[in-house]
Amino acid sequence: MMCGTTGVIDHQVQCSADYVAAMSERLAHRGPDDAGTFADGGAVGFAHHRLSILDLTSVGHQPMSCDSGRWTLVFNGEIYNCRELRHELRQAGVDFSSDSDTEVLLKAYQVWREDCVDKICGMYAFAVWDRDEHTLFLACDRLGKKPLLYYWDGTTFAFASELKAFLTLPACERRLNPDAVDAYLSFGYIPAPLSIFRYIVKLLPGHSMTVRNGALTVRRYWFPERVAAMRSGSRTERIEQFRELFAKGSADQLLLSGQYGAALHDYLLAIVQAPCMPKVYLKALRCLLFVIAPTWRARLFGQSAA
């Protein structure tokens, strides 16, 4: 489940549209359903490749701009609580023209600005350009499920969903990051904020960034310890609270416009989460079982759940 986003800001060279077009070609495989571009003069450009999840019609096209044209959004992911947010925004007098979570996210930013990240729940990486303030705002979801990388050399700022997109930028040096190489050889992966290249960085999970007047400001907006501090009640009460949250979380992730199913790749997931799904939607649940487990007991659990 993925889309591809990219964007460039370069007020000196004034060829961001050309840069974005080249970067966008490297991300075409991420979104087979639709593609679009946006340009604000020659200094700012966005591109998006869409894999349709909510509202499969063309009204979910990206990049998406508000009615006034001031704010333009590119977004990869899914907002799980978009129904609740849409209701809250409507109560505040906001109108909607689609069922897409992209429009909900855009209008949430219009109303709450940078604080919208405290309201939304989901997996996401998005960027919003403010034409009037000449400001770019970016955010990554709380656990970093959706990737967001960026490049900054003091003149050109670029972001993308994948590393390969940056290699089309003329100014981007393919110089390896020794710390990233060491981490990969030690752990088998490269932890954020590092990437294999020195000048390309991953935005950390639960962080947002503002780009304004040639300056980058990074802010952490989510703290797991604050969630832990909210626990209260007896053990039995906390177990019941977890069950309610788990059921709601499963329901929130089923707001799809097409068919849905369960990929039972883990036996605990198979016996716990999959049974919650038909209770939410009275549709036929399609299960794909590919349990990767070393024991017969794990495979048996997965087969029973399927």
Parts of the chain with a pLDDT under 70:
1, 13-16, 54-56, 228-231, 254-306
Please state which CATH number belongs to domain 4-222.
Answer: 3.60.20.10
What is the DSSP code string of 230-297? T--S-HHHHHHHHHHHHHHHHHHTT--SS--EEEE-SHHHHHHTGGGHHHH--SPPEEEE----SSHH
Under 8 Å CB-to-CB from 101, ≥6 apart: which residues?
A: 53, 54, 78, 79, 82, 122, 255
Per-residue pLDDT, 122: 92
CB atoms within 10 A of CB 273: 18
- pTM for this predicted structure: 0.84
What is the tens place of the pLDDT at every residue in 61-79?
899 999 999 999 999 999 9
Collapsed DSSP state (helix, strand, coil) of residue 113: helix
Per-residue pLDDT, 302: 47
Per-residue pLDDT, 285: 53
Per-residue pLDDT, 296: 45
Per-residue pLDDT, 239: 82
Tokens of 213: 């007047």
Per-residue pLDDT, 113: 96
Per-residue pLDDT, 269: 57
The verdict on whether 276 is a catalytic residue reads no
Per-residue pLDDT, 150: 97
Q: Which of 3, 82, 116, 140 is the catalytic position?
A: 3
Burial of 297 (0-12, 13-18, 19+ CB in 10 A): exposed
For the chain, the structural domain boundaries read 4-222, 225-305
Q: Are 118 and 167 in contact (CB under 8 A)?
A: no
